[in-house]
Structure 1
Amino acid sequence: MKKFYRNYIRNFQGLSREIWLLSLVTFINRAGAMVIPFLSLYLVNEQGLSLPQVGWIMTCYGLGSLTGSWLGGKLTDIIGFYKVITLSLFLGGIGFILLQYINSLYGFCVAIFMLMLVTDAYRPAIFVAMDVYSKPGNKTRSIALLRLAINLGFSIGPLVGGIIIASISYTSLFWIDGITCIIASIALFILLKPKKVTTNVETPKVVKEGVPPYKNKYYLLFFLIMVLTSITFVQYFSVMPLYWEKQHFLSEDLIGWLMFLNGAMIVVLEMPLVTWLEKIKISKTMATFYGGVFIGASFLIVNLTDWSGILVFGMILLTLGEMIGSPFSSALALEMAPKGRKGSYMGLYTISWSISHVFGHNGGMNLTAAFSFDFTWYVMFGVMVIVSVLTIWLYRLLKKSPTFETY
């Protein structure tokens, strides 16, 4: 056990102080992210909306996320990641607090769109910040530390959120989520001075190299892979909680514990796993492939039996896919981005996840309403089979390219 602990700590050595500060701020932010995992349950159980209605609200969620990711990427290249991150956290916190006072379908559509527009501007900016402050050779581990902070906060958030719902109410979550976002923005302002970032890291004029992301054929194929993967992945945060409740009769606190498993596994295992995969020199593209295989398997396995214990194994498979695929796909996106265009490239990368919110939640809700949960899971498994084929194709294309042959 001591050896595992020493090796685990060793995985974090060599990362810059700024990387740790950005990860700390991200942890503070995500620790309060209790609203989103329970949003579909809140809309059905507290607001009395139907699954198709919830699907349209989640479509607005995705449209806001898409717009915010695009705008965040553009603003990052223009005004710098520091301002984008700080404003996104602060305004997002206010938005979460106000969300509890909405009580109509159209009101939720507008409010969710605006909230996600503000909060998801954060995503491309934080990736660019990690790239700026990473030391040579530490990019993937820096992203892994950021994901560890996200998932440590995310594992605590749903667990505490589920307990709060069971013992107090849903509306308490809006206050906690909003306040923690505001605290995160204040922490960033205190710990990472804007003058230091502007003077030492961000230069006022950057020469842009290469082509825009939408003209890079390799990146567009990678983008398609990410869109399909994320459409499948987001089912675990909208349709799957309803499946746990309606088909397996789990209470909100048990759902919180199941989500906690995802975050806890990532906190304990992701960094050692990423370090080991880097040591064996796995390509970033093949790591993305293996991640997709595990995600697909997580949907297939829950249809094999009515035993509720299978949900734990499904979550384990999903988490393995996330731990393997996400850090390396993020690092691949960064390395494919030419100098001066990283904000735009990472903006498109995060847009792939935003598109999943537009089509994934709505598609999953309507498939379930029209057919069944089981049918929806088989469809998601089929999508991941397609993703696996496309990822192998991308790997072969990159191997033939002298620019990307090591990816």
Structure 2
Amino acid sequence: MKLLKIYINSYKGLSAESWMLALVMLINRSGSMVLPFLGVYMTDHLNFDIKDAGLVLSFFGIGSVVGSWVGGMITDKIGEFKVQSLSLFLSVPMFCLIPLFDTEVGLAAIIFIQSSISEAFRPANSVAITKYAKPGNITRAFSLNRMAVNLGFSIGPALGGILAAISYDFLFYSNAVGALLAGLTYVLFFRKREYRNPDQPKNSVDVKSVSPYKDYRFLIFCVACFMFSICFFQLLNTLTIFYKQEAHLSQKNIGFLLGFSGIVVVLLEMLLVQIAEKYFKLKYTLFLGTFLCGISFAMLAIDSSMWFLVVSITILSIGEIWALPFMATVTALRSGTHNKGVYMGILGMAFSLSFIITPFLGTLIAENFGFTILWIGTGILLTLTALGFYYIIPWMLKEKEVKL
């Protein structure tokens, strides 16, 4: 009963704006059907070889880095409302143009432009979360948004599979419709809304006069986030290859495991975040979340039976819940009044860089040294990263001002 009460209370106190930002994210991500099927589209429909398809996909990662950087920078100059609106509405024609390009160079160029525009949305959205959340609810507001992302990515690929069976063009047009609906919903609700937290939070460290590019403590924190993301986002590539080649799972069972992970996050995130906020300090939460992710990957070196894989993905999901939203919280606390966008953009770049590196690095290690070495190495690296978070966070934030 106590856990049920905590679970219910975790949703209380969230502002109407936080719920609407999550709804916009859900609409936008539910339309995200292109990325999961882009590789299949290139190899099956356009007859690209795997190497060329991989090169085009890398331009999506490069565009994500550029979008996070530019989006964060211009958010501080023109405001998060304009950046989010422009990103959503400009994404509409970009998605519609993609089917017109059928060469490697042309498709790489349009994918780079599209991902740069769409990823500019993320730092602006993060700034909006900090400004519209009720005091003391920033982490839960970030968690609500992540739940929307997870739910949207569960819906989008499922719909995308149906549409791709009819025509690949429908994937791009449906993505455009999703971006348009998200943009209209956002503009209609937020065009006249006033911020709940227009100024810097009282418990944050005032570094508003310092450029985040000179804030070496924050940059070291971002390096730790980058190391985490390199390991964690194997979930999207090397882990599924391991499921297929080493665990000999069918595509149906692979889909079950990934879908199960999303369900665990959607059902447990708000509860576990509420527990962490109530009982843990930030340094303990990030340490524990990162360490659990390391245990999850290291377990794969021991056994690959189905029940063991379910336990592993469950631990990974719990670790994710206690790591990812709190990284955004630390960034919000570290930033000042007028540079939140740049701070969030740099954090976004740390994750976007991993989308470029992780697929190549993970598959390279697995091919040359085997999956056992890959998973043991991942576990060790995440353990070291967890220790890094434990010592970096108190160093970044003043203990007398922030619950660390």
Q: Under TM normalisation by the shorter chain, which class is it?
A: 0.7 to 0.9
- Could you list the per-position Cα deviations for residues 190-248 of structure 1 after superposition, in whole angstroms to 9, with x for gaps in the alignment? 2222x4459x9879xxx983311122222111111111111112221133333334444
Match of 1:67 in 2: 66
Match of 2:114 in 1: 115
Moved more, 322-331 or 302-311: 302-311
Q: Verify the 8 A CA contact 1:52 1:365 in the aligned structure 2.
A: no
Q: 1:365 and 1:190, CA in 2 relative to 1: closer, same or farther beyond 3 A?
A: same
User: Hey, what's the Cα distance between the residues in 2 that align with 1:246 and 1:305?
Assistant: 14
1:191 to 180, 186, 189: 189
Q: Tell me how large the CA RMSD over aligned residues is.
A: 2.9
User: Hey, what's the Cα distance between the residues in 1 that align with 2:249 and 2:173?
Assistant: 25
Query: In the alignment, does 2:317 pair up with 1:356?
Result: no
> Secondary structure of 2:322's match?
helix
Match of 2:379 in 1: 381
User: Hey, what's the Cα distance between the residues in 1 that align with 2:359 and 2:168?
Assistant: 21
Match of 1:104 in 2: 103
TM-score (norm 2): 0.87
Q: Verify the 8 A CA contact 2:286 2:390 in the aligned structure 1.
A: no
Match of 1:136 in 2: 135
Kindly provide the amino acid, as one letter, of the partner of residue 114 in structure 2.
L
Query: In the alignment, does 2:76 pair up with 1:77?
Result: yes
Report how far residue 321 of structure 1 moved.
1.3
Query: In the alignment, does 2:326 pair up with 1:335?
Result: no
Kindly provide the amino acid, as one letter, of the partner of residue 59 in structure 2.
C
> Secondary structure of 1:213's match?
coil
User: Hey, what's the Cα distance between the residues in 2 that align with 1:370 and 1:97?
Assistant: 40
Match of 1:406 in 2: 403
Q: 1:104 and 1:310, CA in 2 relative to 1: closer, same or farther beyond 3 A?
A: farther
Match of 1:276 in 2: 275
Kindly provide the amino acid, as one letter, of the partner of residue 91 in structure 2.
G
1:280-299 alignment to 2 at 5 Å? Answer: 280=279, 282-299=280-297
Q: 1:216 and 1:28, CA in 2 relative to 1: closer, same or farther beyond 3 A?
A: same
User: Hey, what's the Cα distance between the residues in 2 that align with 1:258 and 1:88?
Assistant: 32
Question: Alignment identity in percent?
Answer: 32
Q: Verify the 8 A CA contact 1:143 1:330 in the aligned structure 2.
A: yes
User: Hey, what's the Cα distance between the residues in 2 that align with 1:32 and 1:219?
Assistant: 34
1:159-198 alignment to 2 at 5 Å? Answer: 159-162=158-161, 168=166, 171-193=169-191, 195-197=192-194
Kindly provide the amino acid, as one letter, of the partner of residue 361 in structure 1.
P
TM-score (norm 1): 0.87
Kindly provide the amino acid, as one letter, of the partner of residue 17 in structure 2.
E
Q: Verify the 8 A CA contact 1:210 1:339 in the aligned structure 2.
A: no
Match of 2:203 in 1: none
Match of 1:146 in 2: 145
User: Hey, what's the Cα distance between the residues in 2 that align with 1:306 and 1:42?
Assistant: 30
- Could you list the per-position Cα deviations for residues 138-157 of structure 1 after superposition, in whole angstroms to 9, with x for gaps in the alignment? 11111111112112212222
User: Hey, what's the Cα distance between the residues in 2 that align with 1:186 and 1:385?
Assistant: 43
Kindly provide the amino acid, as one letter, of the partner of residue 89 in structure 1.
L
Moved more, 120-129 or 80-89: 80-89
Match of 1:28 in 2: 27
Match of 1:56 in 2: 55
User: Hey, what's the Cα distance between the residues in 2 that align with 1:244 and 1:340?
Assistant: 45
Q: 1:271 and 1:261, CA in 2 relative to 1: closer, same or farther beyond 3 A?
A: same
- Could you list the per-position Cα deviations for residues 355-392 of structure 1 after superposition, in whole angstroms to 9, with x for gaps in the alignment? 11222223224434545444433443333133123223
User: Hey, what's the Cα distance between the residues in 2 that align with 1:233 and 1:105?
Assistant: 29
> Secondary structure of 2:332's match?
helix
Q: 1:53 and 1:303, CA in 2 relative to 1: closer, same or farther beyond 3 A?
A: farther
> Secondary structure of 2:403's match?
coil
Kindly provide the amino acid, as one letter, of the partner of residue 299 in structure 1.
F
Kindly provide the amino acid, as one letter, of the partner of residue 118 in structure 2.
T
Structure 2: gaps spanning 5 or more residues:
200-205
Kindly provide the amino acid, as one letter, of the partner of residue 154 in structure 1.
F
Kindly provide the amino acid, as one letter, of the partner of residue 403 in structure 2.
T
Q: Verify the 8 A CA contact 1:39 1:238 in the aligned structure 2.
A: no
- Could you list the per-position Cα deviations for residues 58-98 of structure 1 after superposition, in whole angstroms to 9, with x for gaps in the alignment? 43222111110011011111111111111212222433343
Q: Verify the 8 A CA contact 1:283 1:406 in the aligned structure 2.
A: yes
Match of 1:214 in 2: 213
Moved more, 93-102 or 233-242: 93-102
Q: Verify the 8 A CA contact 1:151 1:263 in the aligned structure 2.
A: yes
